[in-house]
Amino acid sequence: MGPVRGSKKKRKIEKKPDENASASSEMEGSVDWWDYLSRRMNGRQSPSKGLDKFKSVFRISRKTFSYICSLVKEDMTAKPGSFTFSNGKPLSFEDQVAVALRRLSSGESLVTVGDSFGLHRSTVSQLTWRFVEAMEERGLHHLQWPSTNAEMTEIKSKFEKIQGLPNCCGVIDTTHVMMCLPSADPARKVWLDHEKNHSMVLQAIVDPEMRFRDIITGWPGKIDDWLMFQSSNFYKLCDKGERLNGEKFELSKGSEIREYIIGDLGYPLLPYLVIPYKGKELPEISAEFNKRHSATRLVASRALARLKEMWKIIQGVMWRPDKHKLPRIILVCCLLHNIVIDLEDDDAQDEMPLSYDHDPGYRHRICGSFDIDGVQLRDKLALYLSGKLPP
């Protein structure tokens, strides 16, 4: 995973719990807390209807909720402090996680979330931040670059099935998280992007199942895609030959290609980063390559659109966020996004956005830089996909 500006450097070694065991054990005691909580939220739900409503409130299944609880329980319960509803009843641990997840998934204000649960806005804020800190510590194993040849081989195979691109390891893309900053904020100009919005940018590399494999965030939205990429640890590892250095793919006898990722024209053409051909009146081979390249890149667009649709706290415009905490909130939303995929949460995955436009109003900025080895790689791929590469 790439660096997250504003994150704590010291990390605990997370333990990886048994997902099925944690889900089943937590579920037994969770009916009572959810029945009570759902009644507080609407005043009339029966237990059975409350269970049906769970997905609409938290955007995830009960199984996924229980697994998330198992990840953060040790860290959240170890911190001092108690929290109560407006009627004086203490919040259970599940209540606390529920409040945090509701805040992240709904994107509603602290006041609105607090009113729906019968809590003060400061309690919602504290619980959300406790949850974010715990997820940072315990959930990072859900966002990693593939560590085995078998895992990478499977990823490359699935990418090839999309539009035929061989040996592709990921798709890179960026999205903006917009902010409403106070007029007195001395750093307002720093965060003003090219579209005259105040924003923070998230750059992600995505696998064919829309899972985030590497991210970097925390930079002002005005930074160009290629500059952000060059600041990333992923770029440094590639330049040193320590990433995208796995098995090569033989296109034809005597012609092979290395591992690579793909991106749009906002990135440079590099030996390990392939972008489309620029121009409208392109030769047939180049036009066909661009068509396949674009269709494959949709994986990243879908992933980012789904991230914002499910975790609405980073959709729309955030009201005066703490710019040191926001990168960590974005990271945790990415972790939650991956957990839904890893646990094959069908309830959550049903909620796919109708549009893949995760960055409305933002125009692509073109880099134009290229490396000769990148040119040769792209040309080989174009010939291979057209069937005109010599045997």
Helix (H) or strand (E) holding 216: strand 212-220
Give yes or no for residue 209 having a pLDDT over 50. yes
Give residue-wise pLDDT tens across range 270-321: 999 999 999 989 999 999 999 999 999 999 999 999 999 999 999 989 999 9
CA–CA separation, 233 and 217 (whole Å): 12
CA–CA separation, 143 and 112 (whole Å): 31
CA–CA separation, 127 and 328 (whole Å): 15
C-alpha pair distances (Å), 49 with each of 32, 40, 54, 64, 211: 13, 14, 9, 19, 32
Under a CB-based contact definition with an 8 Å cutoff, are residues 132 and 332 in contact? yes
**pLDDT grade, residue 26 (50/70/90)?**
very low
Paired tokens of 310: 């499910």
Helix (H, G, I), strand (E, B) or coil at 250: strand
| Mean pLDDT of the 108-137 span | 95
% residues pLDDT > 70 (the chain): 87
SS (H, E, C) 53-87: HHHHHHCCCHHHHHHHHHHHHHHHHHCCCCCECCC
DSSP character at residue 316: S
pTM above 0.85, yes or no: yes
Helix (H, G, I), strand (E, B) or coil at 203: strand
Output the pLDDT for position 87: 87
Output the pLDDT for position 50: 47
CA–CA separation, 176 and 197 (whole Å): 10
Output the pLDDT for position 8: 47
Give yes or no for residue 13 having a pLDDT over 70. no
| Mean pLDDT of the 351-363 span | 77
Q: Give the HSE-up count for residue 308: Cα atoms under 13 Å, Cβ half-sphere.
A: 25
pLDDT higher for 58 or 26?
58
**pLDDT grade, residue 361 (50/70/90)?**
confident
Under a CB-based contact definition with an 8 Å cutoff, are residues 180 and 318 in contact? yes
Give residue-wise pLDDT tens across range 67-120: 999 999 999 999 888 899 988 999 999 999 999 999 999 999 999 999 999 999
Output the pLDDT for position 346: 76
Output the pLDDT for position 265: 97
Under a CB-based contact definition with an 8 Å cutoff, are residues 272 and 244 in contact? yes
Output the pLDDT for position 171: 98
Under a CB-based contact definition with an 8 Å cutoff, are residues 378 and 277 in contact? yes
Under a CB-based contact definition with an 8 Å cutoff, are residues 198 and 180 in contact? yes
| Mean pLDDT of the 321-334 span | 96
Mean pLDDT over each residue of the chain, to the nearest integer:
88
| Mean pLDDT of the 7-25 span | 45
Output the pLDDT for position 37: 83
Please spell the DSSP secondary structure of 118-179, one letter per residue: T--HHHHHHHHHHHHHHHHHHSGGGS----SHHHHHHHHHHHHHHH--TTEEEEEEEEEEEE
Output the pLDDT for position 285: 97
CA–CA separation, 173 and 325 (whole Å): 22
